[in-house]
A = this chain, B = another copy of it.
Amino acid sequence: MKQHTSLTVPGFDDVIAAHDRIASHIHRTPVLTSQFFDDMTGASLFFKCENFQKAGAFKARGAANAVFGLSDTDAAAGVATHSSGNHGLSLSYAAGRRNIPVTVVMPRTAPDAKKAAVRGYGGQVVECEPSTSSREAVFAEVVAKTGADFVHPYNDPRVIAGQATCSKELVEDVADLEAVVAPIGGGGMISGSCLTLSTLSPDTKIFAAEPKNADDAYRSFKSGHIIADDAPDTIADGLKVPLKDLTWHFVSRHVADILLATEAEIVDAMYLAWQRMKIVIEPSSAVALATILKNKDQFAGKRVGVILTGGNVDLKNLPWMKS
């Protein structure tokens, strides 16, 4: 089983190589503005719309970089991951583009729609029990049998270099950003943003946005070491996972602050974005906007990039339908 989780810190050269490698497999997503949110915050907000990305989330960048960086020999054995979320979907998309096998280990309790989406991109779903021990055992078996390359959802230098292309496009398209706000879960997007911005735009402050209900990155940041929570509960289901060594490397060095939003604030921001910008964003994306709306003083008068990370939601089960 090949792993890339020892501390091989990617550099900006890796980001340039990644962008060349994945350009034909991803969208250069648009940057939208909103008079409504500018009026509301006093800031000039530039929304990088990764909800329009292939497979519906920024994760297609890192997955494509990992998949298309493999030698033909390694690629023949395929790739594998464990993820019931956007990374599993994106890895299936990228592997499908290269026409190589991909296995996604998912709890048997994951929604059928998520399994179907992975299969829709040509991925093979292998089910495990909904426990860490079962997941690890089943995943090890898959890798032993197939020799597949393990692409971790975020703690992988290839993945971080891929995610870093998002902020690269943003600063190419929008000059003089004084701040960039992105959600933080495992820290792949934030690490990529740190990697790019510290090179291309070192005066841009990087803010991570996290659900208050899953504030392990916030507490890690404040205490100076990684804290991992067991099964935090938040509607922003992409942000439940903990930091790991590689992402901690970037977060601890380059992030200006981590801002928190409550569940109600996340849902309100998501609703407002749908209503006023006419775009479908998932709760994890809304966390970034929510923290700006509640910290207006910090952003007023500034040019602020906001990374809307994805748009994969169950349209038949929206949070504002639940009351």
Contacts and interface: CB of A to CB of B under 8 A. Distances in A.
B278 A274 contact: no
Nearest to A35: B54
A52 B278 CA distance: 6
A311 interface: yes
A56 interface: yes
Interface residues of A, number: 19
Interface stretch (A102-110, A137-145, A174-182, A312-320): A312-320
A271 B316 CA distance: 10
A275 interface: yes
A280 interface: yes
B315 A274 contact: yes
A315 B56 contact: no
Interface string A45-64: 00000011000100000000
Contact of A275 (B275, B277, B279, B315): B315
A274 B315 CA distance: 8
Q: Which of A56, A279, A320 has the most CB of B within 10 A?
A: A279
A79 B111 CA distance: 53
A30 interface: yes
A316 B320 contact: yes
B278 A315 contact: no
A231 interface: no
A278 B280 contact: yes
Given A30-B30, A321-B321, A278 B56 contact: yes
A52 B36 CA distance: 12
Interface in A249-274: 271, 274
A271 B56 CA distance: 15
B278 A51 contact: yes
A22 to B, nearest CB: 16
Contact of A279 (B56, B279, B315): B279
Contacts of A320: 315-316
Contact of A278 (B311, B318, B321): B311
B271 A315 contact: yes
A38 B281 CA distance: 23
A311 B277 CA distance: 9
A205 B32 CA distance: 31
9 contacts: A30-B30, A52-B277, A52-B278, A278-B279, A278-B280, A278-B311, A280-B280, A315-B320, A318-B318
Leading 10 A-B pairs by shortest Cβ distance: A278-B311, A278-B280, A51-B278, A274-B280, A52-B278, A274-B315, A316-B320, A275-B315, A321-B321, A279-B279
